[in-house]
């Protein structure tokens, strides 16, 4: 399980560097390639569902579909560009540990370090869920800050005020503003 | 005369407070989780702080970033960082963390030799301790800092950290050894130094969040809990799953 998790992150890193950091790659193509990696290696629906909190249960099938799509757009808009600035910085996987092996879905944590400059290491921890030989990233923690939890808290504030319809409008505005 | 004015003050405080929703258990649980009863006031202070950052701090920080030679910026950043270590040592002592005491003391003196050359902060990670963290260690509660508080100028905090900040102002060895003017200069330089290094990240964050206030609140809490645990990562719980327990999206797994 640990080998599988570690392999996933190493593979993800090398795929990302190979496909996303190509010089002069048009932004639209980078976005699409990033979206491909996201769908292949991340539990996008699971993360989206977590970020919606209790509102997921009451959402209709159609609302869920729209929401998951828009959530993906937000992640792409936030992260894809950053690979453009990549200039050979070092990324090292340093270890892995089991978090929970009791359930049907096993959970492990892969620790890694990304050097934004040779002197500035940033710790990145990858939470990996696995079932059989399916491995997916379920959360990314940068210096201890969980991306999934941050999205959840950000969305909760909008949901409390305007409910799911309000969140969908905000996400749509954001997606269109950024494209 | 006195009673009515006391009532007026009370009324003002209550009106600036959100009250817990008593009749809806789900909403009540959410209210307690957010733990931000002063949210309206906090949001107001947050917007004032953002205005200050945008119109006062950022222009200075950008000028500083673009015009001052990097070796000089490096020295400034080193001096600011090293001046935090004596207070950090005091708190390592109060927390009974012998290893941190050793590290902090030896780094403080070694750093003196390299103020002009190296980038001492990122040389090797060092946990910086403060009174808020000491309280948290004493109470053995990384996340129990009380209600969220947005401080004017200083930014995000909670009741425990705000109190700690006040105490640190009085017990900081460097602060005690220098004049008030030096203290103000040190604080201002620290803000400019920090802003000049993080301006792009903060702008990105603002652009990419739906409610910037809520995002900053979340980041502050997570980051503080992490500092209190001295960077031991604790996996989030509850956390997202790949969805084996959720049949209607299981096709997402198989493809």
Q: Which residues of B touch A45 (CB under 8 A)?
A: 243, 249, 252
pTM for this prediction: 0.88
Q: Would you call B208 and A170 a contact, using CB atoms and an 8 Å cutoff? A: no
Crossing angle of helices A44-52 and A147-178, rounded to 10°: 100
Lookup: tokens for A36:
């491909």
Of B210, B222, B246, the CB nearest to A144: B222
Cα A53 from Cα B239, distance rounded (Å): 11
pLDDT for the residue numbered B250: 44
SS3 A21: coil
Query: Closest residue of A to B118, CA-based?
Result: A119
Mean pLDDT across chain B: 86
Q: Which residues of B touch A50 (CB under 8 A)?
A: 238-241
> Tens digit of pLDDT for each residue in A29-85?
999 999 999 999 999 999 999 999 999 999 999 999 999 999 999 999 888 888 888
* Top-confidence residue, B122 or B252: B122
pLDDT for the residue numbered A125: 95
Cα A35 from Cα B233, distance rounded (Å): 28
Our separate counts of H helices and E strands in chain B read: 14, 2
ipTM for this model: 0.91
How far off is chain A from B168, nearest CA to CA, in Å? 25
SS3 A112: strand
Q: Which residues of B touch A129 (CB under 8 A)?
A: 240-242
pLDDT at residue B252 is higher than 80: no
Q: Which residues of B touch A123 (CB under 8 A)?
A: 231, 233
Instruction: Note whether A56 and A49 are within 8 A (CB).
Output: yes
Around Cβ A26, how many Cβ atoms within 10 Å? Answer: 8
Of A74, A138, A170, the CB nearest to B239: A138
Q: Would you call B253 and A158 a contact, using CB atoms and an 8 Å cutoff? A: no
Which residues make Cβ contacts (< 8 Å) with residue B223, sequence separation at least 6? Answer: A143, A144, A145
Residue B249's pLDDT band (boundaries 50, 70, 90)?
very low
> Tens digit of pLDDT for each residue in B138-148?
999 988 999 99
Q: Would you call B242 and A130 a contact, using CB atoms and an 8 Å cutoff? A: yes
Sign of the C-alpha dihedral, residues B205, A159, A143, A44?
Answer: negative
């Amino acid at each position: 399980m640990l080998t599988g998790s570690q392999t996933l992150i190493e593979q993800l890193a090398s795929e990302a560097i190979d496909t996303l950091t190509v010089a002069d790659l048009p932004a639209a193509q980078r976005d699409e390639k990033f979206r491909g990696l996201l769908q292949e290696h991340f539990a996008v629906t699971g993360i989206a569902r977590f970020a919606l909190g209790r509102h997921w249960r009451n959402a209709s099938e159609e609302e869920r579909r729209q929401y998951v799509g828009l959530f993906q757009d937000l992640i792409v808009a936030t992260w894809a560009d950053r690979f453009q600035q990549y200039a050979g910085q070092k990324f090292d996987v340093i270890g892995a540990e089991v978090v929970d092996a009791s359930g049907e879905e096993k959970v492990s944590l892969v620790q890694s370090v990304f050097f934004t400059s040779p002197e500035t290491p940033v710790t990145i921890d990858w939470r990996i869920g696995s079932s059989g030989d399916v491995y997916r990233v379920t959360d990314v923690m940068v210096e201890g800050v969980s991306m999934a939890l941050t999205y959840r808290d950000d969305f909760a504030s909008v949901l409390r005020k305007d409910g799911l319809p309000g969140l969908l409008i905000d996400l749509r505005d954001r997606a269109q503003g950024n494209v | 005369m006195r009673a009515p004015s006391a009532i007026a003050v009370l009324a003002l405080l209550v009106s600036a407070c959100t009250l817990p929703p008593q009749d809806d258990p789900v909403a009540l649980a959410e209210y307690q989780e957010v733990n931000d009863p002063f949210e309206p006031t906090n949001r107001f202070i947050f917007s004032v702080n953002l205005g200050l950052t945008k119109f006062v701090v950022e222009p200075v920080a950008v000028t500083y970033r673009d015009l001052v030679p990097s070796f000089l910026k490096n020295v400034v950043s080193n001096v600011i960082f090293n001046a935090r270590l004596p207070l950090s040592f005091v708190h390592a002592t109060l927390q009974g963390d012998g290893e941190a005491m050793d590290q902090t003391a030896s780094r403080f003196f070694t750093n003196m030799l390299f103020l002009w050359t190296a980038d001492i902060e990122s040389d090797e990670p060092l946990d910086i301790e403060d009174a808020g963290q000491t309280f948290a260690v004493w109470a053995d509660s990384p996340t129990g800092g009380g209600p969220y508080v947005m401080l004017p100028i200083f930014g995000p905090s909670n009741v425990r950290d705000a109190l700690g900040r006040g105490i640190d102002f009085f017990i900081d060895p460097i602060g005690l050894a220098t004049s008030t003017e030096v203290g103000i200069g040190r604080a201002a330089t620290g803000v400019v130094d920090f802003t000049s290094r993080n301006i792009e990240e903060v702008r990105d964050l603002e652009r990419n969040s739906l409610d910037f206030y809520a995002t900053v609140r979340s980041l502050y809490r997570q980051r503080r809990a992490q500092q209190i645990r001295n960077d031991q990562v604790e996996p989030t719980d509850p956390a997202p799953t790949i969805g084996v327990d959720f049949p209607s999206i299981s096709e997402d797994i198989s493809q």
